[in-house]
Structure 1
Amino acid sequence: MAKMKKTPRNVGQYSLKHMPQQYKRTRRPLSARTIMTRSMLTLSSNSSTTGFFYRLPMEVIDIILRQLSVLEMSVLGMVSKDLTGYVVDHISSLVWKNKMITQNFHHTNSNEVKSTIQHYRALGLLFKRCTLLLPTKDRLKFIFNNFSQISCFMLEQCLVPNCSGFSSFGVFLQTVIAGWNELECHRVFNFLCDHTNLLQKIATVISRKPGLLSYRELQIRLFCRQVLLDPWLNRPECQFWLIELLKPWPMVSQAHLLLILYGPLLPEGTIGWHDLVDRVVPHGHLWELAKSILLLLARFQVKDWTTDSILPILEELTVIPEPWNMENVARLLVLCGNHLCYTFLANKALNGRLHDISRLIVFIIMVCEKDGYHMNWAVRLVHQIYQVFTTAVEKLYFIQSLEGMFSKITREFFELPVTGEIQERETFQMLCVLLDSSARFHAKFLHMFLKDE
């Protein structure tokens, strides 16, 4: 009887070693990622000349870009040069321009104004980033080609009061050129003047009698202030733009332009040229003008702008359109601070203009009394002017002229023609201020000289 063969333990099974090739298990590949991180996208973009987006149809790319906000698009454009090109092509399309650039600037509430200004700040960031690799001239050309058709951004194109176009344009321009050097900003100024005819429009206004072209004056004021000057919180940048605006003109025209930019503005939207001549204006109406003068004399002085160059402009300011009310001159000098006020008066002292100095000092003392300044400041100012004179005779003449001026101005108040009850009350109040300020000044003055006795 034949012996049965012993069945091996692995009967009906194949060992891995002897398993046929077609039955061997192979490892399945991991599924491809459907989401790529920013770093992976960058690596993918750097690994080829066309980048990750090259594999997508242009229609899909446009769909993606349409879903992005302005800020998101500005970030995407910084990933690679290729993506910058896609973003530039997208924002150059008429559809995108009509949707994102053409805005309504005639709002009825402050929230809408803030929203529009924020939108144009974001647009400034987008255009700054997507033109980063272009030369300055090409950057400006690309930017202005996109915004030059907006009437609210141009001088004398929008007649709607309280339009926020200039403010939006100013925020946009500030965002685009933030961090640019002085040479590049100078090119921006020239480019802007060429596209808006700004210098020609200024020349037309300052060559005419103040107030004759009131609408153009207001347009120049709003454009220069809201587009070039006010958006800058830092004084050096604001100083740069103010000097760029003043530099092309002679001294008399510079004074005229300063008053257009920073002179008192009446409620009806015109510059109060004749208010400075005919009546006393509050210190708030002169504060912006004083700040502009101080800006030109800031510690980061420019070579061509010193105290000596400002004094003639200050002289011209106070006679446009005619000699100002003397209290307005005194108030402007007080607001300009001790250094400029003293220099202005000392310059007159050296030229022998005792009458002018004495009259100004009396009104400066009145301003200190009315506006709440310490009378000690006026006393020290008079003492400084006193030291300018070198001989005892000159010093005596100065004191006599000052004291005589107090009496003369008091008589002038008594002799003012009175045509109504209101004017009579105002004249009496001014006389009381003069007498009170004179008493306070002389008390401080005598105390200064007698305290060491």
Structure 2
Amino acid sequence: MTSTVSTSYTLIPNQKYRRSNRRSRRFCKILDIDSQSLSTLGDFKALPIEIFQMVLEHLSVKDISMLSMVSKTISSRLINYISTPSGNRRLLQKDFHNLELSGKRQGSCILEHYRALGLLLKRCTLLLPTKDRLKYIHNILSETLTAGWDELECHRVFNFLCELSNLPRKMQTVVSSKPGHVVWQKMIEGPTDETSLKGLADAIKLLYDTEAKEWTADDVISLVDELSVVPREWLMENNARLLILSGNNICFTFMASKAVNGRAVELARLMVFLALVCEKDLYCMDWTVKMMQKVCQVFSTPGEKNNFLQSVENAFAHLVMDMLQSVMSGDRDEEDSSFLNLFHLVNAQANFHKEILYLTLRSTST
């Protein structure tokens, strides 16, 4: 039987506080993630692909949609299934625009079917970049679903969707609304402060709330990932600060997702910037160490975990060298930001390793 590992660690504070104020820390629980269940086929591994697809024929669209969230491998197989002739016939019904269909009940059933299908496509492509997701959905709609439609049918469907979702009013609201409070250009050009990101972080936490029915945890994590790269990639420090402000659950789930999907080097670099932000914004460094400890539990093998830890040390070393080179180049601004960044990073590295030593000594003495 697997031993139970403690899952508590310091909460991210609502307000900044000095590290000397350690007695006032609170603790929270984070659910363990079984990384093996997210990266394997499970019992389906023994089935040939043909038998697997026969099983899918007996599942509802909602059941297939739930199955798509089991693992990345399952999701890939479902994408392939949707593209097969049998999957097309089963899922992409082409008679919903037929005027001969009678009764309101029939129409509502078709609408419910495509609502479930939309959720299935959304979940299957969740791990893909936005451009690839849109390309896949476009291919499904243009090459399969709407094949053979004439212009009148397209207009009829468009008008129906506008009436159903009140699309014109929503578009008018988007076009006429004021820009958001997040200054996106600032996120690209240099480090920002908490004030610039707090509103966005609060909005993300609302979406992640368990009572929100339209957004799953995976949806929110995918959104956070896309926010920091579209239209241009944010500085990693700003990305780390947004994760900290978004709270423990979102931060951990975001990082665990990278661990599960083999992005250990990127994850290690993010861990370094979490430590840097904690140093700059005066958060307790033990939070970063315990977050890293939790992320390590996601890796399925000791080799993967050791590789990640080595990547963290390499990321620290590379970032120190980059900042040192910037300082030695003599290109300084009025605030001497290059030297200050190096100063904070060296202190962050020292405090980070100090907390690791404390944690190690406490575990060996008990």
TM-score when scaled to structure 1? 0.42
Cα–Cα, structure 1 residues 280 and 408, in superposed 2: closer, same or farther, change >3 Å? same
Aligned counterpart for 1:328 among listed residues 234, 238, 260: 238
**Match for residue 208 of structure 1?**
none
The 5 Å alignment of 1:26-65 reads none
Q: Is the 8 A contact 2:237 2:274 kept in 1?
A: yes
The 5 Å alignment of 1:63-102 reads none
**Is 1:354 the counterpart of 2:264 in the alignment?**
yes
Amino acid at match of 1:390: S
Specify every segment of 5 or more residues in structure 2 that has no aligned partner in the other structure, as ranges. Answer: 1-163
- Cα offset, 1:201, TM superposition: 5.7
Deviations 1:67-90 (A, max 9, x none): xxxxxxxxxxxxxxxxxxxxxxxx
**Match for residue 199 of structure 1?**
171
Deviations 1:378-406 (A, max 9, x none): 11100001111122211111111111110
Deviations 1:47-80 (A, max 9, x none): xxxxxxxxxxxxxxxxxxxxxxxxxxxxxxxxxx
Q: Is the 8 A contact 1:369 1:375 kept in 2?
A: yes
**Match for residue 451 of structure 1?**
362
- Cα offset, 1:306, TM superposition: 1.5
**Match for residue 375 of structure 1?**
285
RCO comparison, higher one (Cα < 8 Å, 6+): 2
**Match for residue 413 of structure 1?**
323
SS of residue paired to 2:275: helix
Aligned counterpart for 1:311 among listed residues 199, 211, 221: 221
**Match for residue 274 of structure 1?**
185
- Cα offset, 1:366, TM superposition: 0.5
Cα–Cα, structure 1 residues 287 and 449, in superposed 2: closer, same or farther, change >3 Å? same
Ranges of 4+ aligned residues in structure 1 off by more than 4 Å: 417-420
Aligned counterpart for 1:388 among listed residues 277, 298, 314: 298
The 5 Å alignment of 1:218-367 reads 219-221=176-178, 260-261=179-180, 263-264=181-182, 272-302=183-213, 304-367=214-277
Amino acid at match of 1:452: S
Q: Is the 8 A contact 1:273 1:320 kept in 2?
A: no
Deviations 1:145-187 (A, max 9, x none): xxxxxxxxxxxxxxxxxxxxxxxxxxxxxxxxxxxxxxxxxxx
Amino acid at match of 1:369: E
SS of residue paired to 1:346: helix
- Cα offset, 1:419, TM superposition: 6.6
CA distance in 1, matches of 2:303, 2:210: 37
Aligned counterpart for 2:340 among listed residues 429, 438, 445: 429
Aligned length: 200
The 5 Å alignment of 1:17-28 reads none
SS of residue paired to 2:265: helix
Higher mean Cα deviation, 387-396 or 417-426?
417-426
Aligned counterpart for 1:400 among listed residues 310, 314, 337: 310
The 5 Å alignment of 1:84-163 reads none
Identity among equivalent positions (%) equals 34
- Cα offset, 1:200, TM superposition: 4.1
Specify every segment of 5 or more residues in structure 1 that has no aligned partner in the other structure, as ranges. Answer: 1-188, 203-215, 222-259, 265-271
- Cα offset, 1:354, TM superposition: 1.2
Q: Is the 8 A contact 2:240 2:270 kept in 1?
A: yes
CA distance in 1, matches of 2:358, 2:228: 34
Q: Is the 8 A contact 1:370 1:433 kept in 2?
A: yes
Q: Is the 8 A contact 1:274 1:321 kept in 2?
A: no
Amino acid at match of 1:431: L
CA distance in 1, matches of 2:219, 2:363: 40
**Match for residue 121 of structure 2?**
none
CA distance in 1, matches of 2:332, 2:290: 38
**Match for residue 439 of structure 1?**
350
Q: Is the 8 A contact 2:208 2:250 kept in 1?
A: no
Q: Is the 8 A contact 2:208 2:217 kept in 1?
A: yes
CA distance in 1, matches of 2:165, 2:267: 42
SS of residue paired to 1:330: helix
Please tell me the root mean square deviation across aligned C-alpha atoms, in Å: 2.2
